[in-house]
Amino acid sequence: MKTDIDELTELNIRIGQEESAGKREYFEEKVLAAAFAMRRGLTGGVVDRAAFLDAVKPSCISHGGCEQRGVM
């Protein structure tokens, strides 16, 4: 039997996977409430539902890794 922590951990992992894959419909239909706000980890900025959904796009993480390029 899964604990609440197990369920939340799985949901957290899935959210990251769906966001990295650019699956906006997952968030529109299943996860986000109409009134939604969250603090972004990298910037510390707070975004609402519309801003979060606008930022859901495929990332290099969902495509097997990020290529690092040097700056000249």
DSSP letter for each residue of 1-66: ---HHHHHHHHHHHHHHHHHBT-HHHIIIII--SS-EEE-TTT--EEEHHHHHHH--B-GGGGT--
Which residue do the tokens 């939340």 mark?
Answer: 8
Q: The whole model's pTM is what?
A: 0.68
* The pLDDT value given to residue 65: 57
* Phi, psi values for residue 65, rounded to 5°: 125, 165
* The pLDDT value given to residue 67: 55
* The pLDDT value given to residue 41: 81
CA separation for the pair 11, 7 (Å, rounded): 6
pLDDT in tens, 2-54: 999 999 999 999 999 999 999 999 999 888 999 999 998 888 999 999 999 99
